[in-house]
Copies of this chain bind each other. A is one copy, B any other.
Amino acid sequence: MLGKFKRILIGRPMKSAELEAEKLGRLKALAILSSDALSSVAYGTEQILLVLMVAGFAALWYSVPISIAVLGLLVILIISYRQTIFAYPAGGGAYIVAKDNIGKAPSLIAGGSLLVDYILTVAVSSSAGTDAITSAFPVLHDHRVLIALVMIVFLTIMNLRGVTESASVLAIPIYLFVIAIFVLIITGVIRYFTGGIEAAAPQFDSTVSNVSLFLLLKAFSSGCSALTGVEAVSNAIPNFRKPAEKNAAATLLMMGIILGAMFIGITLLAYWYGIHPSATETVISQIARMTFGHGVLYYVIQGVTALILFLAANTAYSAFPLLAFMLAKDKYMPHMFMVRGDRLGFSNGIIILSLLSALLVIVFKGDTENLIPLYAVGVFIPFTLSQLGMMIRWIRLKPSNWGLKLTINTVGMLTTLSITLIFIFTKFSQVWVIFLFLPLVVYIFYKIYTHYENTAEQLRIDIKVDKPEVKGNTIIIPVAGITRVVMNTISYAKTLSPNVVAVYVGFDDEAIHKMEQKWEEWNPGVRLIVLKSRYRSILGPLRRFIDTVEWKTSATDHITVLIPQFVTHHWWETILHNQTSLLMRAYLINYKDVVVATVPYHLNK
């Protein structure tokens, strides 16, 4: 039943050999990996304008140079990350690059902040997508949390089904979004130059008295939020079809060009149209309305924008499980993140990501906007570490042209470091929590690592020296009466060892006497030992008996406890029987150095 339901939801299990066919071509990769980055267009310009507006309408012209600065940063990041992709064709996320070149601790800081970040991405994006939906249909406003959770469940199922299939479903809205925004920008530019728009843009290059450096930096850092998501491609190289690094680099470049063009286009239109940021209407919506009027095209723009915000969450679904896999391989996260599910995705990573982000949505009741700066700073920390790692790599390896390569990554590192510092400087009240959280995550990574190392050390043997030894065997059978199950178990025990003893725990003298008599009469060839339990506990006396046997024989013998157990025909019938054997087994396995065997006897009705 459950299995069938899973088949319908997730699809048939796939062979390991089918993995290659699941991999991504350039266009599908663009669809899967770029939604996070591209969706920034929907709010990037607006974030800058909102900060500048504090200094008045005249200050809005600063948005153009600031956007150009962000664009410059984008170019730096793209060039830097291209280098990373070719240097690390097996996947060059910040974690790998930092581990390879700087050291353990920085790599764990990078990995930890990215993991946290992906969880924030899903929470923030699904909430933002929900906001877009409830803006269109206000009647749904009371069900925001439910809608966000449904979105997360939908994404979970798509991703459990497998990478390619989810790409096919998700590609269409992303292409629609790109096309729609370009149509908007081109139409807008044409209408502006043909004089179809009457607007009062603020004077360019005017000096505004109350614009401080702090304000400009804050506006710039807000604009940098638009760059989150750029790292997705370099993390996901192993998901690309061969030649993976070339396809990845091409995808990254395509994404950069599209993102840059859309971002600067929207910023220019906003400036030319003289748009005020407003609490009730987004900048994109104002531009679209002024360009197209309240027609079909306007609603198309709004619809695909809402959709892309929601789909941005999907990027995290490709990145989180892969990063968790890499951390698990290095023993910093539980092994379970290394297991591929029926459909070849890392199911455990997908499920954990969904659960944690759903938890955030529930705790914040769908109002996750305040988490955005946190999540931007969580991206720029690994950006910086990754660039620093590349710098060290070039100095260490000195390949051809290493001077140029070093220069590129040094510029990249200094830029991202500055932005991280600007974030901390201008938005400390919103990002301080990361300085508590990140050390905790790194501490847990180390704890897990230590556990695995200790375990491995204790389990390791020298195959030249350590060989199995043969010892004797003493067998203990707890019996509750003389039944077919007990007979079965004794038959079995006799095949194993001549040292077999049955143990009966009785609560009163009468029961004990009766059992002894019946056992003598039966005479199964095994000695019966009776124990009296004054507290009606079976486990207590049995435990003390095993202690005694252990003390006497453990030097020469293995001790085996054989538990006779009948298995009922229907599972629900087990509630009709005492579960002493389960308790007994759990106790013995966990606290005693004895082998516990269950000898089943299957009832057939």
Question: Is the pair B576, A448 in contact by a Cβ cutoff of 8 Å?
Answer: yes
Verify A468–B535 contact, CB threshold 8 A: no
* A279 contacts chain B at the CB level, 8 A cutoff: no
Interface string of A1-20 (1 = CB under 8 A from B): 00000000000011111000
Does A514 sit within 8 A of B, measured CB to CB?
A: no
CB-defined contacts of A335 to chain B, threshold 8 Å: 576-578
Which B residues are in CB contact (< 8 Å) with A518? 463
A562 vs chain B, min Cβ distance (A): 8
Complex Cα spacing A469 to B524, Å: 9
Whole-angstrom distance between the Cβ of A32 and the nearest chain B Cβ:
23
**15 contacting pairs across A/B (C-beta < 8 A):** A342-B535, A451-B573, A452-B576, A461-B483, A463-B482, A468-B490, A469-B491, A470-B491, A471-B495, A472-B495, A473-B495, A473-B496, A595-B599, A596-B597, A596-B598
* B593 x A602 contact (CB < 8 A): yes
> Majority SS of interface residues in chain A?
mixed
The docked-state distance in angstroms from the alpha carbon of A596 to that of B598 is 5
CB–CB B448/A461 < 8 A: no
Q: Does A494 contact B (CB under 8 A)?
A: yes
Chain A 571-605, CB-CB to B under 8 Å as 1, else 0, gives: 10101111000000100011011111111111111
Complex CA–CA separation, A604 to B454 (angstroms):
9
Most buried by B among A469, A508, A526, A571: A469
Chain B residue with Cβ nearest A599 = B595
Query: How many subunits of this chain does the assembly comprise?
Result: 2
Residue of B nearest to A496 (CB): B496
Are B487 and A578 closer than 8 Å at their CB atoms? no
Say which residue of B452, B525, B565, B576 sits within 8 Å of A468 (CB atoms).
B525
In the bound complex, how far is the Cα of B576 from the Cα of A448, in angstroms?
8
A534 at the interface (CB under 8 A from B): yes
A314 at interface by CB-CB < 8 Å: no
Q: Which residues of B contact A598 (CB under 8 A)?
A: 585, 589, 595-597
- For the complex, what is the distance from the CA of A342 to the CA of B585, rounded to whole Å? 21
